[in-house]
Structure 1
Amino acid sequence: MAVSRDQILTKATEHLNHSPAASMAEIAQSVGISRATLHRHFATREALMVALGWRALDAWQGVHERIGLGETPAGERLEETLHALLIAQIEAAENYGFALTEQAMETDRALVTRAEELEAKEIELISACQRAGILRADFPPIWVSNTLYGLLLAVRESLRRGDVARRDIPRLVLETFLRGTTS
């Protein structure tokens, strides 16, 4: 049975979320294909990671689109958008957690540029929330953004190791983030 590129990417993502340092041989085995077949699709591990990085960034952009981050929220909508971002990022971290620390995400210039563009949209929301008094204004917006990133790493590791029940993650993220950064 032939396996499509999309199926390879999906299975590789699932495997890497449980074993981020997996070799190409381990990834191929988890997909159910030979290493040679995997190499026909992706010549190197880095090429595979870059393809997976694009998928992760597409998912991140999808989060922005679902919550209306491109729009300019005001008033109550600001807080609602912030909460929606936090909850949606949990799902993204669960589905693409490996990408949070994958080296290819930091070395491929096109991936870095796209990630910076997406992060800039979140920083705009954070800044607007700070101006509205929803978030503390005494922290630089990039620090608040980095705090969210750190929480997403905690989500990834907690789920990967089974330290925290999946059902508790939204509450833990919201309370940790909001109690530490709210006015």
Structure 2
Amino acid sequence: MRADAARNIDAVLRTGARLLAEDPATSIATIAAEAGVDRRTVYRRFTTREALLAAVFQAKLDSAERVLDDARLVEAPVAVALHRYVEGIVPVSREWPVDVRRMMRADPEAHARREQQSHRLDVFLQRAADDGLLRADMPPGWTRAVLDQLVDSVAHAFPRVEPPQAADLVVDTLLVGVGRR
């Protein structure tokens, strides 16, 4: 793929993610105009809005996968891996603001990928509890729900907070708020 074509597709995907998160009924013509490309360019690559949305979901999953890999959830010390994960996932959440629940209903392959990624994070949080950084007496899924909400809050309610500082806030809140006393 030519460099300009790749840039156009990237612009369409990122613009599509933002506009479809704001309004799931956004037309391809609107997305194309906002991305600065001709709508025929978009239609050549994505025949329907659903095909574009599926590509957006795949791009979000690809980005999340890289974050999970880069965080080294298995190898790195828990606090370091947690910070790396949050610092990496905040920009992903901001760049790809589409609702993953919608993705999981619409695309079985995306659903399976998301579940695999979610499992990796759950195993990591269990490691953190086993290592004594998180309380082991919390209801199942509680710590994960808290982490997800903290990431979502800092990513979207505090968009001016840079990812390193966002990670500091989330990790401190999680470890102090849910950490062992």
Bucket of the pairwise TM-score, normalised by the shorter protein? 0.7 to 0.9
8 Å contact 2:54–2:107 — kept in the other structure? Answer: yes
For the pair 1:32 / 2:19, whether they are aligned, the reply is no
* Matched residue, 1:181: 178
TM-score for both structures, normalised by structure 2: 0.80
- For structure 1, which runs of at least 5 residues remain unmatched after alignment? none
8 Å contact 2:143–2:178 — kept in the other structure? Answer: yes
| Aligned-residue offset at 1:72 | 4.8
| Aligned-residue offset at 1:114 | 0.3
What are the superposed Cα offsets for residues 93-120 of structure 1, whole Å, 9 maximum, x if unpaired?
2222x23456234321100100000110
* Matched residue, 1:93: 93
List, as ranges, runs of 4+ consecutive aligned residues in structure 1 with deviation greater than 6 Å.
none
2:80, 2:90 → 1: CA distance?
16
1:47, 1:17 → 2: CA distance?
12
- For structure 2, which runs of at least 5 residues remain unmatched after alignment? none
8 Å contact 2:83–2:168 — kept in the other structure? Answer: no
For the pair 1:49 / 2:45, whether they are aligned, the reply is no
8 Å contact 2:147–2:174 — kept in the other structure? Answer: yes
Correspondences of 1:163-182 after superposition (within 5 Å): 164-166=160-162, 168-182=165-179
Identity %: 24
Tell me: CA distance 1:13–1:36, structure 2 relative to 1, closer, same or farther (3 Å).
Answer: closer
Tell me: CA distance 1:116–1:101, structure 2 relative to 1, closer, same or farther (3 Å).
Answer: closer
1:172, 1:17 → 2: CA distance?
26
